[in-house]
């Protein structure tokens, strides 16, 4: 059950955030994120098991209120504040009502199939994802959760932001590549794993150049 995948967009410096949000706005890149993390089970009209996404509290807060919980996926939010209020329910996840933090505030249009669950740690979130019969489990940030999840990860889907350099980044993901034990998979392996045709080579969007990469643990 520890086969977690990290998904991240990061500069060549490993910058991932600035002032509590993403340093860039890349609509096609974020659509890639949505498609990969949702998968088939959570796609509209899709049958089968949903994927889970696991994020830290600050990442949850960085997602615009109207987009969260991210639809078609079981959203786990890790916080050490036991009473942290997600502003949504866990209905539809198969997770007990005791985990529902605030039924009364379900005023954001969240349907029964859109759910978020508070977890006290990464391990607790992974256990609950397993209990909820999630298919794939993605850790979606931020820096602390990436660091905690890397030892458990078998795969990293990284969108490498090549330029500009986004020097203003103030949050960074750990440099897993420099530490060894990882190798970049061929592009076809990325397409096979996500089960759709991913644009090959350097992409350009709103003046930003980036590339979709998949890295696999080799040790």
Which residues contact ligand FOL by CB under 6 A? 7-9, 22, 27, 29-31, 33-34, 59, 62-63, 67, 70-71, 140-141, 159
CB of 97 to ligand FOL, least distance (A): 26
Q: For residues 68 and 103, what is the distance between their CA atoms, to the nearest angstrom?
A: 15
- When the beta carbons of 7 and 88 are compared against ligand FOL, the nearer one is 7
Ramachandran sector of residue 121 (left: φ over 0; alpha: ψ -120 to 50; beta: rest): beta
- When the beta carbons of 20 and 96 are compared against ligand FOL, the nearer one is 20
- When the beta carbons of 66 and 107 are compared against ligand FOL, the nearer one is 66
CB of 215 to ligand FOL, least distance (A): 13
Distance of CA 157 to the CA centre of its chain: 10
- When the beta carbons of 7 and 194 are compared against ligand FOL, the nearer one is 7
Could you tell me where the beta strands, DSSP code E, fall in 60-207? 73-78, 115-119, 137-139, 153-163, 171-172, 182-184, 203-205
CB of 57 to ligand FOL, least distance (A): 13
CB of 36 to ligand FOL, least distance (A): 8
- When the beta carbons of 32 and 182 are compared against ligand FOL, the nearer one is 32
Could you tell me where the beta strands, DSSP code E, fall in 20-152? 51-56, 73-78, 115-119, 137-139
The structure tokens listed for 81 are 């504040």
CB of 133 to ligand FOL, least distance (A): 21
Q: What is the CA radius of gyration of the chain?
A: 17
Q: Which residue is nearest to ligand FOL (CB)?
A: 34
Q: For residues 49 and 35, what is the distance between their CA atoms, to the nearest angstrom?
A: 15
Residues linked to residue 55 through DSSP beta bridges, in sequence order: 77
CB of 181 to ligand FOL, least distance (A): 22
């Amino acid at each position: 059950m520890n086969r977690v995948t990290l998904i991240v967009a990061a500069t060549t410096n490993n910058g991932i955030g600035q002032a509590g949000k993403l340093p860039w706005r890349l609509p096609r890149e974020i659509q890639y994120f949505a498609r990969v993390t949702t998968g088939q089970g959570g796609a509209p009209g899709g049958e089968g098991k949903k994927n889970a996404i696991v994020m830290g509290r600050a990442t949850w807060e960085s997602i615009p209120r109207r987009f969260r919980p991210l639809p078609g996926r079981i959203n786990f939010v890790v916080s050490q504040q036991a009473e942290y209020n997600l502003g949504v329910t866990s209905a539809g996840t198969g997770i007990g009502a005791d985990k529902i933090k605030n039924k009364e505030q379900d005023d954001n249009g969240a349907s029964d199939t859109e759910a978020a669950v508070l977890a006290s740690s990464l391990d607790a979130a992974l256990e609950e994802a397993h209990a909820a019969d999630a298919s794939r489990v993605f850790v979606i940030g931020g820096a602390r959760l990436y660091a905690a999840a890397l030892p458990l990860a078998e795969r990293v889907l990284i969108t490498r932001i090549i330029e500009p350099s986004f020097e203003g980044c103030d949050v960074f993901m750990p440099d897993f590549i420099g530490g060894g034990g990882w190798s970049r998979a061929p592009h076809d392996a990325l397409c096979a794993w996500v089960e759709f045709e991913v644009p090959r080579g350097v992409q350009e969007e709103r003046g930003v150049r980036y590339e979709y990469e998949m890295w696999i643990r080799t040790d």
